Structure 1
């Protein structure tokens, strides 16, 4: 196989290891904490987030536009790397000092933080702004913040992952394969020999491996945890079959070389398909000589599709310093975001609010595909388990060893299961 361009560790793996699956432009950053203030002087609401990538420009515009409405408190936009922020949160909450008035966290953090007593319910916010309600958001993502009868978060977006396809290469190697908007595993295996003969990658399974595996396992009824939501279920038959499927694609010659920059392969017309997140929209739009689209995750059968998603969510960290006056402005700000969510759609994300659905600009973005029908919206699955982060870490540690054959799928998942059980036991479960 010809030498690949730019061998680097895949950006999503870095993201997910930091538990920031979705906002890759933010949680992928590992630089020093930085602050970007949207107001100078006066009363401020401290807003922590990890939008340090290009998506930060979209959030800054939203904040600046809100501050121009002359609220009693202006939003002070403080951005930092996700890992840094997650280390700071328990410290400031436990000390009661320096707690931000508003914060963005990954959906996977919500149940864990709630169980640790780090979050306050959003009851006061919902009461003050009655339009911040389930009916004005995607129901599935809204429900991820509902715990024990209370709402602990308000969703900003849905970071859906799906299958990029190169239109020219599809026409050459797999005409009509996308007629039903689903590429099956069997179809992938049929394409591989023809593409491999021309040194073209069919599907890099070492990129967004976890999301593809979760999608395939969920299609067969599998889950990362048992029904109690606490006991991991990583060595299940469904997850074993999913990872074996991806390994089979790699062994058949359909994947990329270890270390390849898989998104760059796609951008350079060297890969027919590539699984990634909707947030790569702006990078793809800047690519020259690339005619592309986005569709559902690969499936065993076209009648059962699952698209794994993440979500950035607004939360209130426990604080005695947050005043009623600040809560009023926070409610106004969240409703402003809901009404003006088209700006966030421009970052590449699928807004959690449905207020942009009638906008032609949004309808021409690839993310709209995933909310364009009830069937597509129902295909979206979230990972919002209390100990999801522990399982993520265990999976990430060795999944590429299983994909590239240095470890069997059984050994990989058994090891991940044991590691998860041990680390959860240390949490007191």
Structure 2
């Protein structure tokens, strides 16, 4: 494997900061160093970041693959989620230790120096194993393509949802004849819904779980509603900031109103309150197993289109090929076969709340029976995503810099107008920054689809 020419300090800074330099420990499900499994001819080393319920679902899919493909010995390792994972993956790709297959959030791929730390997928080989571009949402596939090459194979999208208690909403007269929450198409309609729901809510519980003081959730919600307004961040060439402060103020005022009108309590245990009877909470789809496990009578819909356009924040777990100078042969074939298999057999993955990226899965009878997944599957066609720049993506620099500004407005320590100006100023600074991975600004980097 080759040396992409990045030093340790560059890698640490780019993958999450020097503060995580010592956070390389991980819980190995397979060490990748022992002998091949009996009857196997090829080993595929696979790194992922899935723990909890997602981890169990992934293990089940890997076990099914092993049973059907005894000639391939899959050595899977689960690493710590977040910056430590990306740091270790980057250093492995630069230091002759890269696994054969990995997982990344799609929003982070652009900043991971595709072509230097990531190798492109062989689309013909994927097609051999039954995975083609036509099987995916066009916009999702487009996000995975950089400089004309596919650098990520989407496994899912995970979205922010409006979870609601059917028992409380029925009492408030907010359930339709279909047993689902009444549709909302404006901010005033939404606050009317909250007003009625609050009347039916038990004392001591908030009306809506908003994660008002969480920088990640606040940023994700901002992205959703700003997209509903048609807001943009940069021009196509990534040379100018196009951030619309007037539209940003509308979103910030909307988020802030939930606090000032008394519908949410900052710092409350939002998920726990929902389980105990709060009518609404905005959470990621990964909360589906939690609420289903609690035996709640609930539903989940994409975030309400209060600004007239459907859009809810979305990210994607995607398979990637960490750089290997000698990539090819049976091992690379095995990595393609494994990734294609998991993508095509994501019915179990959907049980964790994620929406499978492989669209044929969505039309199966088994998927259509999943509840509440069948209620929010439309989010696949209405994704609100971060801009395609090197500093974006889950746990990325963009969220770390802009998220706290959104929180300051929601919590009332900054006026929405001032917060919007700060957001635009921060975006301007980030656009001028160079990616530590390759020393290029967003305008200079390979981000063209």
**TM class, shorter-chain normalised?**
0.7 to 0.9
Alpha-carbon shift at residue 79 of structure 1 (Å) = 0.6
**What is aligned with 2:343?**
338
Counterpart of 1:75 in 2: which secondary structure? strand
CA distance change for structure 1 residues 170 and 113 in 2, over 3 Å: closer, same or farther? same
**What is aligned with 1:89?**
89
Work out whether 1:61 is the aligned partner of 2:88: no
Work out whether 1:250 is the aligned partner of 2:259: yes
Counterpart of 1:356 in 2: which secondary structure? helix
Alpha-carbon shift at residue 381 of structure 1 (Å) = 2.8
**What is aligned with 2:377?**
371
**What is aligned with 1:383?**
386
CA distance change for structure 1 residues 144 and 260 in 2, over 3 Å: closer, same or farther? same
Alpha-carbon shift at residue 225 of structure 1 (Å) = 3.2
**What is aligned with 2:414?**
407
Match of 1:325 among 313, 330, 340: 330
Counterpart of 1:112 in 2: which secondary structure? coil
TM normalised by structure 1 equals: 0.83
TM normalised by structure 2 equals: 0.79
**1:243-392 counterparts in 2 under 5 A?**
243-256=252-265, 258-270=266-278, 272-288=279-295, 290-301=296-307, 304-363=309-368, 364-371=370-377, 377-383=380-386, 385-386=388-389, 387-388=391-392, 389-392=396-399
Alpha-carbon shift at residue 333 of structure 1 (Å) = 1.1
Asked if the contact 1:33/1:84 (under 8 Å) is kept, the reply is no
**What is aligned with 1:416?**
423
Q: Take 1:117 and 1:414, find their aligned partners in 2: how far apart are those partners? A: 36
CA distance change for structure 1 residues 31 and 299 in 2, over 3 Å: closer, same or farther? farther
**1:55-204 counterparts in 2 under 5 A?**
55-82=54-81, 83-95=83-95, 97-114=96-113, 117-123=116-122, 126=125, 129=128, 131-176=130-175, 181-182=183-184, 184-196=186-198, 199=203, 200-204=205-209
- Unpaired stretches in structure 2, ≥5 consecutive residues: 1-14, 17-22, 37-41, 435-439, 442-449
Cα RMSD for the two superposed structures: 2.7
Alpha-carbon shift at residue 209 of structure 1 (Å) = 2.6
CA distance change for structure 1 residues 415 and 147 in 2, over 3 Å: closer, same or farther? same
Q: Take 1:241 and 1:61, find their aligned partners in 2: how far apart are those partners? A: 45
**What is aligned with 2:433?**
426
CA deviations over 1:11-40 (Å, ceiling 9, x no partner): xxxxxxx99xxxxxxxxxx99411102986
- Unpaired stretches in structure 1, ≥5 consecutive residues: 1-17, 20-29
Q: How many residue pairs end up in the alignment?
A: 394
CA distance change for structure 1 residues 232 and 86 in 2, over 3 Å: closer, same or farther? farther
CA distance change for structure 1 residues 380 and 182 in 2, over 3 Å: closer, same or farther? farther
Work out whether 1:41 is the aligned partner of 2:35: yes
CA distance change for structure 1 residues 321 and 281 in 2, over 3 Å: closer, same or farther? same
Counterpart of 2:188 in 1: which secondary structure? helix
Asked if the contact 2:164/2:181 (under 8 Å) is kept, the reply is no
Asked if the contact 1:196/1:253 (under 8 Å) is kept, the reply is no
**What is aligned with 1:216?**
225
Alpha-carbon shift at residue 220 of structure 1 (Å) = 1.3
Q: Take 1:292 and 1:265, find their aligned partners in 2: how far apart are those partners? A: 14
**What is aligned with 1:9?**
none
Alpha-carbon shift at residue 335 of structure 1 (Å) = 2.3
